[in-house]
Amino acid sequence: MDEQGKGLAMVILGIVAVIAVVGMVLLFSKASTTGNYVMGSEYAQFNPYELCEQRVGCPLKSVEGGIYYSSKGPLVAICGCPGGDVVAPLTRPFDWREEFYPQG
């Protein structure tokens, strides 16, 4: 009877180990980022398509500028609106303390 109890305990331990491994694999394989912007230092950067289509209301025409010394000005999205192109900055100052935990 003692050998039978050890065998049953090993089977139960094996099932628990398999469930734990499968759970860990699923936990780490589903990791992804969410949100409407990418945070880098103290600025938030919008997606150019979302900025033009959702905030300005016109389709994206192009993206100009950049973050390098050779760039001509800041990174902006050019939205092609019927009345003329609209230039929208892709970055804005971002303070996570004020945005997520307002002090007022």
Strands across the sheet containing 91-93: 37-40, 43-46, 91-93
| Domain range for 46 | 37-100
pLDDT tens digits, one per residue of 24-55:
887 777 655 555 544 445 666 778 888 888 88
Q: pTM higher than 0.85 for the full model?
A: no
State residue 15's pLDDT score.
Answer: 94
Residue 41: its pLDDT value, please? 57
Q: Are residues 20 and 54 in the same domain?
A: no
Q: Using one digit for the tens of pLDDT, what is the confidence trace for 71-96?
A: 666 788 889 989 888 888 887 777 77
pLDDT at 23 over 80: yes
Same domain, 22 and 49: no
Q: Could you tell me if 25 and 46 lie in one domain?
A: no
Q: Are residues 51 and 66 in the same domain?
A: yes
Count of domains observed in the chain: 2
